[in-house]
Amino acid sequence: MSLPNPDNRPLLIGPPTGPEAPFPFRMEGEVISGFGRGSKELGIPTANLPVDDENTWIKNIDSGIYFGWASLKLPASHPNSVLYQKPPTSEPVMMEPVQQQQQNQQQQQKQEGGVESAQQEKLVDQQSGQWQIYPMVMSIGYNPFYKNTVRSAEVHVLGEFAADFYGVGMRLLITGFIRNEKDYSGLEALIADIHFDCEVARQSLARKGWRVRELGVKEGEEEGELDGSWLVR
C-alpha cells in the first residue's frame, strides 16, 4: 500500500554514495520527557533531547525534518536490550522455613536501603548497558502546528519498543535533511507527512553508502559503508 504523497516528494534523499557536506552532524544527551503528544495524539512516540543553543550547527541549522541513525544505551533491565534476560515463568520453588526466613531478611535489608539504594542500582544498570543502533527521523524546530515557543529536538526511533527509555543515553548521527517544517490544516495531514518522512528515512538509509558498518550484514541487506563507530564507542 503506497503512502499519501500530495507534494510528490522523493523517497530517496542524497546520492547513493552517502551523506554530503555539511552532513553528518552529531548530537548526544540523555532522553528527556517532551510535550507528550507523540504517542497520545499522533501514535508516533518521540524521544526528546535537550537543545543546546551554544552548539554552532544546531544554532545555525534550518528548522525541519532530518534523518539518520540513533544509538541507545539500553540498560540490561530494558526488554529491548540485547542483555535483557526474561524473568523465569516457572512455578516458585518451595523453601524450607530457614531459607524463607533468610530471604525475608534480605528483602527487608533491601527495603531499608531506601531510595538511595534504588538509585544506585539504577545507575549500575544504566552504566552496564550496551549501545544499540536504529534508523531514526527527527524534527528540529518549533513545530508550527502546535505553535511551540521553545526550539526542540524530537526523535522518532524507527523500531518497536516494549517500554520507554527516559534517562537513557542517546547519540545521533544526522545524515541528511528531508524537508522544512510547516503548518497543517489538520492532524491527519501532519500524521500522513510524518509517516512519509519515516519511509523516506528507511529507504534512504537502506543504501550501502548510507548504512552504518556497525550494523553488520543481514539477509537481503547490503553491507554498510558509512562510519558509525562514534555511535557505539
Q: Which of 20, 96, 112, 154 is catalytic?
A: 154
160 is catalytic: no
- Which residues contact residue 138 at a Cβ distance below 8 angstroms, ignoring those fewer than 6 apart? 65, 66, 67, 68, 153, 154, 155, 156, 172, 174
From residue 58, alpha-carbon distances to 36, 40, 149, 157 in Å are 23, 28, 16, 20
Distances (CA, A) of 31 to 53, 68, 139, 169: 17, 17, 15, 6
Contact between 65 and 138 under an 8 Å Cβ cutoff? The reply is yes
Residue of 116, 182, 85 lying closest to 143 (CA atoms): 182
Total Cβ atoms within 10 A of residue 67:
25
What CA–CA distance (Å, rounded) separates 119 from 138? 31
Identify whether the C-beta of residue 212 lies closer than 8 Å to the C-beta of residue 225: no
Q: Provide the annotated active-site residues.
A: 154
